[in-house]
Amino acid sequence: MKFYRKLPGYMNMWTVLSMVIVLLILMPNLTILISFFTQTTDNWEHIKEHILPLLLKNTSIIIVVTGVLTILIGTSLAWLISAYDFPLKGFFKWGLILPLAIPPYIAAYTYNGILNYTGIIQTTLRNDYGIRVDQKYFDIMNIPGSIFIFTLFLFPYVYTITRAFLANQSSSLIENARLLGRNAFEIFFRVVLPISRGAIIGGASLVLLEVLNDYGVVKYFGVPTFSTAIFQTWFSMGDLNAAIKLSATLMFIVFAILIFEKVLRGRKKYSYTTAKVKPLTPIKLTGWKAWTVFFYSLLIFSLGFLIPFIQLLDWMFLTFEKIASPVFTQLIMNSLLVAFTGAFMIVIFAVIIANFTRMHKSWLSKSASRITILGYSIPGAVIAVGISSVFIDIDNLLFTFYESFGMEASLFLSTSLFMLISAYVIRFLAVGYNSIESGFDKVGNKFTEASRMLGMGMTKTFFKVDVRLIKGAIFSGFILAFIDILKELPLTLILRPFNFDTLSTKAFQYASDEQIHEASLASIIIIVISGIAIYLFHQVLEKEPK
Amino acid sequence: MYIQIKDLCFSYTNQGDKTINNFCLEIEQGEIISILGESGSGKSTVLRLLSGLETPTKGTISIGGKIVTDDRTFILPEKRGIGMVFQDYALFPHMTVAENIQFGLKGYSRSEKKKRIDEVLELVNMEKFKKRYPHELSGGQQQRIALARALAPEPSLLLLDEPFSNLDADLQIKIREELKQIIKKTGITSIFVTHDREDSRAIADRIITMRDGAAHEWESLCTVRNTSNTYDYEMEIMS
Ligand SMILES: Nc1ncnc2c1ncn2[C@@H]1O[C@H](COP(=O)(O)OP(=O)(O)OP(=O)(O)O)[C@@H](O)[C@H]1O
Ligand SMILES: [Mg+2]
């Protein structure tokens, strides 16, 4: 292929901007990988010998057990909901997604608040029944506790993807198995699990990436993992290089998971491309079977949403007057400010890159699209380390420039909101991009091509035609990114400017200071906003013609 | 020759077989050419290469004496002044009929635009449908609007990709006649793609047959044999 022939088609603003954005995204990650091999630090030997094995052990245990449990719960619920009719099924169908609205760190301190010495369970037992319990049975601030939290609040990733797959793709296989007289368990283990392997693994790998990204749960529970170790070496030991080395190690684990996913999933994507899909006809359950399934769904829904939500509501009413103040209003404003700005930038960048990658089918555009979604797999702690090093370097470079303006601060950029927003963009660009890319996919290229045949260039076409046709996708991309930023903890915690608090950082701080009740209002706001968004998206997805 | 295509090569993937292999064609001004061939033989691809929506790996295209594609030149599709009627019409769903037609009228004053819109709508007999949205039109009506939209900016070449494939058989025969009248009236050089021999015979001055197959089969037969007998002429690009 003669590249220079293709060059004129590439020579436009869209290509240039896309390349710039992709490089900006790549920079912090590359910094980490490069420093891993070049920088040396005294602490590293010590860390490698004494801390790293523990980190690896904890991380592997949490990942493996959480992975297995979320697969079991997520897949079984997906199967029951798709294949059977039972009481309140219509409600559970989307209600079982709701645990995603509660960020795991909020769930962690809520459950601890429910279970600890002063919590509702122990006080009731003590005061009403005179029972004193051994604290060790009620302690969840350990590895099993973290697994409990991660499983309950992340399983919907497996559930939603698998359910979507089962609803659309599998009817003929499963109905055949039914006709052949297989019983329900045989069908589940011999047919459902194997055919939905790709979807299950896709969902489970999202869960694992979320677990690796987590900082709040493990920090609050005091379980040493990579995220906590990175922050500790960075802030307590003041050793950025050691933090970088830990980050790079974590990145390798992430890459391993991504490769593992690819290999396990094989070439198949989530869906076959059969033109007409016939939805699976649900079988009506009766008697004890119906009630068993009902109570199983209810149990998971209660543990994953209802119980923590009611507890938080209760605490909120206790503390509402104390908390709701101008300071709190400021928190909300701050959260909205960063979420809005971040989501706005994400959508703009995502549109630019998506418009570039759909016009050119080449290795260049393929890599651009890969890199764009890479950020979502990189844990927040790693992005924080990477972006800080880049910004500190930039500040050092600009030092003389700052001086000539007579500015005091030598670390101008690396203490600004700008750095935090950039980190959000890197981490959540994938969210906006996926939405917008699928919008472009749905519309296809024909209108764009028609417009160009009528004499409009790429940019004019974009504003007059493309934007009008994908505005729905742009809007959903914006909302999804907005919610993700609103819930985000590790990046915000580390990269925020001094004295700048958001709902999530404040909630986490209250909880860390043993003021669990005070954390409830901020938590409720986050949960309600996320819950509404999840509900809306669920409705939209259901209605959409397949 | 008004349009000259020489040794055009193209493939969608980097490895793999060539979709277009040493394709040659010369067309005189005002001629109506039909490209006939089976599904997958590369007919649409030739139109995409001509219009600049794809870049050939090799070969030259010139239109009206101006080179639009060769080793050094590549004119972007929006600069080529080519009109195209797409297989599924691709009328912009968020614009009315009038807005769709007006879309391509760059550099016209407001009154000129209005006049031109009325002109082309009259040409395709659709004056009454100015304010409608595409989804409020029948398939045949959409097809005529797509034609009007493509003709409005007075392109130097009109490309039509299977213009009848979305119409039922009766309508197809009626519209085919109409289309021929319209194109003849404007005198525009046109290439239309079809897999229906009857369509080709009914409209074209000259028929080019494309066959899928070993790539080099086309090479040697690049020259156009000429004949005065318009309708019965067929050029086989086969060995
Ligand atoms: N976007 C694409 N990517 C990869 N291959 C393509 C693409 N478009 C077409 N092809 C392949 O190129 C070949 C020629 O396709 P083309 O659309 O030009 O055929 P056609 O003659 O127009 O067929 P039809 O009559 O069905 O429209 C086919 O084998 C097709 O599979
Ligand atoms: Mg075609």
Pocket test for ligand 1, best of B9, B35, B43 (most atoms within 8 A of CB): B43
Label the pairing between strands B157-161 and B82-85.
parallel
A181: phi then psi, degrees, rounded to nearest 5: 80, 20
Q: How confident is the model at residue A2 (pLDDT cuts 50, 70, 90)?
A: low
Residues by chain with Cβ below 5 Å of ion ligand 2: B 44
Question: Is B81 within 8 Å of chain A by CB?
Answer: yes
Chain A residues near residue B56 by CB distance under 8 angstroms: 5
Q: What is the mean pLDDT of residues A87-92?
A: 91
Domains and CATH numbers, chain A: 11-40+324-512 (1.10.3720.10), 43-314 (1.10.3720.10)
| Ligand 1 lined by B48 (C-beta under 6 Å) | no
Cβ contact A457–B78 (<8 Å): yes
Contact B189, B219 (CB under 8 A): no
Quote the ipTM score: 0.85
User: How far, in Å, is the centroid of ligand 1 from the Cα of B61?
Assistant: 20
Residues 6 or more apart whose CB falls under 8 angstroms from that of A354 comprise A369, A433, A436, A437, A440
pLDDT tens digit sequence for A120-134: 888 888 888 887 777
How many angstroms separate the CA atoms of B56 and B76, rounded? 13
Cβ contact B57–A456 (<8 Å): no
Q: How confident is the model at residue A540 (pLDDT cuts 50, 70, 90)?
A: low
Cβ contact B153–A454 (<8 Å): yes
Query: What CA–CA distances, in Å, run from A322 to A317, A326, A464, A507, B71?
Result: 10, 11, 52, 14, 74
pLDDT of residue B233 exceeding 70, the answer is: no
Pick the residue with more confidence: A396 or B96? Answer: B96
Cβ contact A446–B86 (<8 Å): yes
pLDDT tens digit sequence for A179-205: 777 777 888 888 888 888 888 998 999
How many angstroms separate the CA atoms of B113 and A229, rounded? 68
Q: Could you tell me the two tokens for B107?
A: 């550099």
Going by alpha carbons, the residue nearest to atom 26 of ligand 1 is: B39
| Ligand 1 lined by B12 (C-beta under 6 Å) | yes
Of A499, A507, A489, the closest CA to residue A228 belongs to A489
Please state the separation of Cα B230 from the chain's center in Å: 19
Query: Which residue's entry shows tokens 């046109």?
Result: B190
Structure confidence at residue A453 (pLDDT): 93
State the DSSP H helix or E strand holding residue A151, giving kind and residue range, or none if neither: helix A143-154
Cβ contact B150–A453 (<8 Å): yes
pLDDT of residue B222 exceeding 60, the answer is: no
How is residue B6 annotated by DSSP? E
Pick the residue with more confidence: A136 or A300? Answer: A300
How many angstroms separate the CA atoms of B29 and B64, rounded? 8
Structure confidence at residue B212 (pLDDT): 56
Structure confidence at residue B58 (pLDDT): 87
Residues 6 or more apart whose CB falls under 8 angstroms from that of A520 comprise A312, A313, A315, A316, A318, A319
Chains A and B: how many Cβ contacts under 8 Å?
A: 74
Pick the residue with more confidence: A149 or A374? Answer: A149
DSSP string, A66-133: HHHHHHHHHHHHHHHHHHEE-TTHHHHHHHTTGGGGS-HHHHHHHHHHHHSTTSHHHHHHHHHH----
pLDDT tens digit sequence for A419-478: 999 999 999 999 999 889 988 988 888 999 999 999 999 899 999 999 999 988 899 899
Instruction: Find the closest chain A residue to B159 by CA distance.
Output: A453
Contact B105, B153 (CB under 8 A): yes
Pick the residue with more confidence: A361 or B218? Answer: A361
User: How far, in Å, is the centroid of ligand 2 from the Cα of A464?
Assistant: 27
Across chain A, what does the average pLDDT equal? 86
User: How far, in Å, is the centroid of ligand 1 from the Cα of B2?
Assistant: 27
Ligand nearest to C-alpha B194: 1
Query: Which residue's entry shows tokens 């006939």?
Result: B36
Residues 6 or more apart whose CB falls under 8 angstroms from that of B95 comprise B103, B133, B134
Question: Is A471 within 8 Å of chain B by CB?
Answer: no
Chain B residues near residue A6 by CB distance under 8 angstroms: 55
Instruction: Find the closest chain A residue to B85 by CA distance.
Output: A450
- Lowest-confidence region among A169-178, A244-253, A289-298, B120-129: A169-178
Query: What CA–CA distances, in Å, run from A527 to A100, A104, A285, A503, A520?
Result: 9, 11, 33, 11, 10
A255 Cα to chain B: minimum distance (Å): 28
A423: phi then psi, degrees, rounded to nearest 5: -65, -40
Instruction: Find the closest chain B residue to A8 by CA distance.
Output: B74
Question: Is A464 within 8 Å of chain B by CB?
Answer: yes
Question: Is A451 within 8 Å of chain B by CB?
Answer: yes
pLDDT tens digit sequence for A230-283: 988 888 888 888 888 899 999 999 999 888 888 887 655 444 444 445 667 788
| Ligand 1 lined by B40 (C-beta under 6 Å) | yes
Q: Could you tell me the two tokens for A157?
A: 């990733």
Domains and CATH numbers, chain B: 1-75+196-239 (3.40.50.300)
Q: What is the dihedral of CA A264, A270, A275, A277, to 10 degrees?
A: 110
pLDDT tens digit sequence for A499-530: 899 999 999 999 888 888 888 999 999 999 99
